[in-house]
């Protein structure tokens, strides 16, 4: 594993190995055990979109690991003024030990990996959000103890979160169901692959998808970059909501996850959100531990 561009590039074994290390790093942090596995290393963090969790967890993560992180906004780097990715990647590779990128096109992250000579981590694109899903899987395993026999249901837009949850969930052996409006399906290649697993369902019916679920997951109706579609999407997605009625279709001990930020009253009701706040904020915390594991795996032995 040289980069983390999308979960499709990882085997089940690699995913589980990241999760195991994440558990270890969480334990070490909680017990104040020094874990400076990236002493003297520097991570560049390129952001073309907003972020709270990703930015803070990567920056704190590098600090915890004995290294440092640089925040590079597109608003004030030459990349944001059109300097080619190919050139930026080769320049930054000479200063840094790893790069995390949050941007629009998945191809930009792939180009960074192609032209750079250091590990590249996808911190969210329109296509995928692998770091979030590693934290989600960590949280599910922490609460449910296993992925075996678990069913995860995603309700809402077939966006970056849906794409990565389908891949991550199926790779670790869960059953995955997605309910979305017909014109807002996840990526077609991911769907094609998902169908070969025999453990995947795609439907427009949220109750069918949520039936017997162990994990219910949702995300915003309009993602970053889709702000102009927000009003149209509010109409299309009406009903694609996790609420107390839908919870009845899931298992009685079902957990609820949300990558955040959440829009109460849209994809999730305030009462369900608050009833499951412990799970949702543990999930947010786990971003830190899971990403530290990714950075250690990618950057530790990097010469």
Tokens describing residue 248: 């009845």
List CB contacts of 291: < 8 A, sequence separation 6 or more: 57, 58, 61, 121, 131, 134, 135
Is 129 known to be catalytic? yes
Residue 46, Cβ neighbours under 10 Å: how many? 25
**What contacts 215, CB < 8 A, 6 or more positions away?**
140, 144, 150, 151, 152, 153, 174, 254, 255, 256, 257
Edge-to-edge, what's the strand order for the sheet holding 98-102? 68-73, 42-47, 98-102, 120-122
Q: CA-to-CA distance for 193 and 153, rounded, in angstroms?
A: 17
**Minimum distance from residue 260 beta carbon to ligand CP (Å):** 5
Binding test (CB under 6 A) with ligand NVA, winner from 60, 70, 191, 224: 224
Q: What is the per-residue binding string for ligand NVA in 145-164, x denoting contact by CB under 6 A? A: --------------xxx---
End-to-end CA distance of the chain: give it in Å, rounded.
15
Class of residue 248 by CB neighbours under 10 A (exposed 0-12, middle 13-18, buried 19+): exposed
Considering only 26, 53, 141, 292, the residue that binds ligand CP (CB under 6 A) is 53
CB of 35 to ligand NVA, least distance (A): 26
**Site for ligand NVA (CB under 6 A): which residue of 174, 259, 288, 294?**
259
Q: Which stretch binds ligand NVA (CB under 6 A): 31-39, 140-148, 201-209, 219-227?
A: 219-227
Closest CB 54 distance from ligand CP, rounded Å: 3
- 287 catalytic, yes or no? yes
Name residues contacting ligand CP, limited to 184-243 (CB under 6 A): none
52 makes contact, choosing from ligand CP, ligand NVA, none, with CB < 5 to 8 Å by partner type, with ligand CP
* Choice among 214, 287, 289, 291 that is catalytic: 287
- Kindly list the catalytic residues: 102, 129, 132, 219, 259, 287
Q: Which residues bind ligand NVA (CB under 6 A)?
A: 124, 159-161, 219-220, 223-224, 259
Q: Which residues bind ligand CP (CB under 6 A)?
A: 51-54, 124, 132, 259-260
């Amino acid at each position: 594993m040289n980069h983390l561009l999308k979960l499709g590039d990882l085997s089940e074994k690699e995913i589980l190995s990241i999760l195991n290390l994440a558990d270890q790093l969480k334990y070490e942090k909680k017990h104040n055990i020094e874990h400076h596995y990236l002493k003297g290393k520097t991570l560049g963090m390129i952001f073309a979109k907003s972020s709270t969790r990703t930015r803070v967890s990567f920056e704190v993560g590098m600090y915890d690991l004995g290294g440092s992180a640089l925040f590079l906004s597109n608003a004030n780097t030459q990349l944001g003024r059109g300097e080619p990715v190919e050139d930026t990647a080769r320049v930054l590779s000479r200063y840094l030990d790893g790069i995390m990128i949050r941007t629009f096109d998945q191809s930009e992250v792939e180009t960074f990996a192609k032209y750079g000579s250091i590990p590249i981590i996808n911190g969210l694109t329109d296509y995928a959000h692998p770091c979030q899903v590693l934290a989600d899987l960590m949280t599910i395993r922490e609460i449910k103890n296993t992925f075996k026999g678990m069913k995860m249901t995603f309700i809402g837009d077939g966006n970056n979160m849906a794409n990565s949850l389908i891949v991550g969930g199926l790779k670790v052996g869960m059953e995955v169901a997605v309910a979305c409006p017909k014109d807002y399906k996840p990526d077609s290649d991911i769907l094609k692959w998902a169908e070969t697993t025999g453990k995947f369902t795609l439907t427009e019916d949220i109750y069918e998808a949520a039936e017997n679920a162990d994990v219910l997951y949702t995300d915003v109706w309009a993602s970053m970059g889709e702000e102009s579609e927000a009003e149209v999407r509010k109409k299309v997605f009406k009903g694609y909501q996790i609420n107390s009625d839908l919870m009845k279709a899931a298992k009685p001990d079902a957990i609820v996850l949300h990558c955040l930020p959440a829009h109460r009253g849209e994809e999730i009701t305030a009462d369900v959100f608050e009833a499951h706040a412990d799970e949702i904020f543990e999930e947010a915390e786990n971003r830190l531990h899971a990403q530290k594991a990714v950075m250690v795996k990618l950057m530790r032995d990097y010469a």
